[in-house]
């Protein structure tokens, strides 16, 4: 630690990250993440991975392709940090074998947790983007247990080919979508907030639009923190007794 302030804050902190999109074509992000797991994250009380840690996940039988990340996460858990994972829209096929190997706990999306005494709703964020009807239809299909069972019965090579085709199609469609369609729908967020009895804080990723939003809903003050992606610069949200802070990861 080269910044005393950070070390003190991290001592009692819960850390939140999402949208790393780890993949073989961007090895520097994996390197930065492994370093983060061995340094900053080790000082934390808990680390929450709120989805899209991986660019895609073809099935837990592909664990060997991600051995360094599995080892890094397990090393963090072994050092006494509680590690939690939520599925993203890219890595929703992560299953129990991965979680057992990495020694982390899979959380449902959404869920309410208590962070330093503050009720906090956490979710990946894709369910909030309800204006994107094509995506929501796709989500409904691929989150179906029968679809997943049938998909996972195919060979790993087949699955990777199909995922590559789906991603290419999605990238092409995205380029035609208006920017606000891919952001969250405020009414949908409000429904989630009411259904979860007005948590004081919401944390999500997915939109890659990091910002703190202060809302007021039915007389309740609620703060929404959007996590950043790791494409250009890795970062995390840290929460300790002093509140929430965005921090860049340390570069070598």
- Beta carbon nearer to Mn ion, 59 or 88: 88
- Shortest spacing between CB 213 and Mn ion, in angstroms: 18
* Residue 237, φ and ψ in degrees, nearest 5: -105, 125
205 token code pair: 């990723």
Could you tell me if 167 and 56 are in contact, meaning their C-beta atoms sit under 8 angstroms apart?
yes
219 token code pair: 């007389």
- Shortest spacing between CB 65 and Mn ion, in angstroms: 20
84 token code pair: 């939690």
Radius of gyration in angstroms for the set of CA atoms belonging to the chain, rounded to a whole number:
18
229 contributes a contact to Mn ion by CB under 5 A? no
DSSP strand E in 41-140: where?
46-49, 82-86, 105-107, 111-115, 118-123
64 token code pair: 């060997």
- Beta carbon nearer to Mn ion, 32 or 129: 129
Exactly one of 59, 88, 110, 199 binds Mn ion (CB under 5 A); that residue is: 88
Mask 16-55, x = binds Mn ion (CB under 5 A)?
------------------------------------x---
- Beta carbon nearer to Mn ion, 90 or 201: 90
Could you tell me if 212 and 201 are in contact, meaning their C-beta atoms sit under 8 angstroms apart?
no
- Shortest spacing between CB 103 and Mn ion, in angstroms: 24
3-state secondary structure of 46: strand
Exactly one of 30, 40, 43, 89 binds Mn ion (CB under 5 A); that residue is: 89
Q: Binders of Mn ion: how many residues, by CB under 5 A?
A: 4
> Nearest residue to Mn ion, using CB?
206
Interaction with Mn ion in 65-84: which residues (CB under 5 A)? none
- Beta carbon nearer to Mn ion, 75 or 210: 210
- Shortest spacing between CB 49 and Mn ion, in angstroms: 12
91 contributes a contact to Mn ion by CB under 5 A? no
199 contributes a contact to Mn ion by CB under 5 A? no
Neighbour order of strands in the sheet with 118-123: 111-115, 118-123, 201-204, 220-226, 211-217
242 token code pair: 């002093």
Could you tell me if 130 and 188 are in contact, meaning their C-beta atoms sit under 8 angstroms apart?
yes
Q: Which span sits near Mn ion by CB under 5 A: 75-83, 127-135, 198-206, 225-233?
A: 198-206
- Give the residues lining the site for Mn ion (CB under 5 A): 52, 88-89, 206
């Amino acid at each position: 630690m080269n910044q005393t302030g950070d070390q003190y804050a991290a001592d009692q902190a819960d850390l939140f990250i999402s949208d790393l999109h780890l993949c073989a074509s961007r090895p520097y992000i994996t390197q930065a993440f492994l370093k983060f797991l061995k340094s900053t994250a080790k000082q934390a009380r808990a680390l929450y991975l709120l989805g899209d840690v991986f660019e895609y996940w073809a099935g837990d039988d592909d664990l060997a392709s991600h051995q360094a990340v599995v080892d890094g996460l397990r090393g963090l858990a072994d050092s006494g940090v509680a590690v939690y994972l939520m599925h993203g829209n890219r890595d929703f096929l992560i299953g129990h074998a991965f979680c057992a190997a990495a020694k982390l706990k899979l959380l449902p999306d959404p869920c309410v947790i208590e962070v330093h005494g503050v009720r906090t709703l956490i979710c990946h964020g894709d369910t909030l983007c309800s204006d994107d009807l094509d995506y929501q239809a796709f989500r409904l299909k691929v989150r179906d247990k029968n679809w997943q069972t049938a998909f996972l019965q195919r060979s790993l090579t087949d699955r990777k080919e199909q995922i590559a085709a789906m991603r290419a199609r999605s990238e092409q469609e995205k380029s035609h979508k208006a920017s606000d369609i891919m952001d969250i729908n405020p009414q949908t967020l409000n429904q989630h907030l009411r259904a979860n009895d007005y948590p004081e804080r919401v944390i999500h990723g997915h939109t890659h639009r990091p910002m703190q939003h202060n809302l007021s809903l039915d007389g309740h003050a609620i703060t929404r923190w959007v996590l950043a992606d790791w494409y250009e610069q890795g970062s995390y949200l840290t929460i300790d007794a002093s509140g929430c802070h965005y921090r860049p990861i340390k570069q070598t």
